[in-house]
Amino acid sequence: MALKRVVVTGLGALTSIGKTVDEYWQGLTDGVSGCAMITQFDASKFKTRFACEVKDFDAATYLDRKEARKMDRFTQFAMIAADEAVKDAGITPENANPDRVGVIFASGIGGLITFQEEVVNFANGDGTPRFNPFFIPKMILDIAAGQISMKHGFRGPNYAVVSACASSTNAIIDAFDTIRLGKADVVVTGGSEAVVSAAGVGGFNAMKALSERNDSPETASRPFDKDRDGFVMGEGAGVLVIESLEHALARGAKIYCEIAGGGATADAHHITAPHPEGLGAKNVMNAALQDAGMQPTEIDYINVHGTSTPLGDIAETKAILSVFGDHAYNLNISSTKSMTGHCLGAAGALETLACILAVTKDIVPPTINHFTDDPELDPKLNFTFNKAQHKVVNAALSNTFGFGGHNASVIIKKYKA
Mind telling me the catalytic residues?
165, 305, 342
Per-residue pLDDT, 403: 95
Asked if the domains at 7-250 and 265-413 fall in one CATH topology, the answer is yes
pLDDT tens digit sequence for 103-128: 999 999 999 999 999 999 999 998 88
**DSSP-derived pairing of the beta strands 50-51 and 158-161:** unpaired
Per-residue pLDDT, 53: 98
- Outline where 38-72 has alpha helix (H): 65-68
pLDDT tens digit sequence for 170-229: 999 999 999 999 999 999 999 999 999 999 999 999 999 999 999 999 999 999 999 999
Containing H/E element for 129? Answer: none
* Alpha-carbon gap, residue 140 to 335, rounded angstroms: 30
Q: Which of 278, 279, 282, 247 is nearest to 263 (CA)?
A: 282
Per-residue pLDDT, 127: 86
Domain 7-250 falls under CATH 3.40.47.10? yes
Q: Which of 173, 156, 223 is nearest to 369 (CA)?
A: 223
Per-residue pLDDT, 29: 98
* Alpha-carbon gap, residue 50 to 264, rounded angstroms: 32
* Alpha-carbon gap, residue 338 to 33, rounded angstroms: 7
Q: Whole-model pTM?
A: 0.98
Per-residue pLDDT, 126: 87
Q: Which residues of the chain have pLDDT under 70?
A: none
Per-residue pLDDT, 206: 97
CATH fold of 265-413 reads Peroxisomal Thiolase; Chain A, domain 1 (3.40.47)
Sorted by where each begins, the domain ranges of the chain are 7-250, 265-413
